[in-house]
Amino acid sequence: MMLDRNLLYSNASDFFSKQGNNVMKLTPQAAIDVCMKSVELKYLVSRIEGGIWHNPGFEMRLDCIWDRDKTLDGKSQLASEEAIKFIEEELADHTAFIVSLQKIE
């Protein structure tokens, strides 16, 4: 299935099946679910970018970017927890998120 860049996705499984890494706009709950599932699938959360969904259209917010602390390299569970905490803190002002994952070798 093809990724629709003008759609806000609410299902974390779409992220993995449609290869949404770095580009798919997700609801806050879907972004949290992707972070949780990433540990099981051997990915490391490396960046979260938040913004506002305009249906269609994503307004990227430069004041809503989380980058993994390099001390969390190789610690996928901790990186996932920190990313989730960031998303939860930003929920009041941001309605969509882009998740970037890195495969753990």
pLDDT at 67 (0 to 100): 96
* 83 domain-assigned: yes
Phi/psi region, residue 55 (left: phi>0; alpha: psi -120 to 50; beta: rest), is: left
pLDDT at 1 (0 to 100): 63
* 90 domain-assigned: yes
Tally of domains within the chain: 1
The 10s digit of each residue's pLDDT in 51-77 is 999 998 999 999 999 999 887 777 889
pLDDT at 105 (0 to 100): 75
pLDDT at 16 (0 to 100): 95
* 38 domain-assigned: yes
Backbone angles phi, psi at 56, to 5 degrees: -90, 165
* 1 domain-assigned: no
* 3 domain-assigned: no
**CATH value at residue 32:** 3.30.190.30
The 10s digit of each residue's pLDDT in 36-58 is 999 999 999 999 999 999 998 99
DSSP structure class, residue 56: S
Range of the domain at 42: 8-103
The 10s digit of each residue's pLDDT in 79-100 is 999 999 999 999 999 999 999 9
The 10s digit of each residue's pLDDT in 5-21 is 899 999 999 999 999 99
Q: Please say whether the beta carbons of 49 and 26 come within 8 A.
A: no
* 2 domain-assigned: no
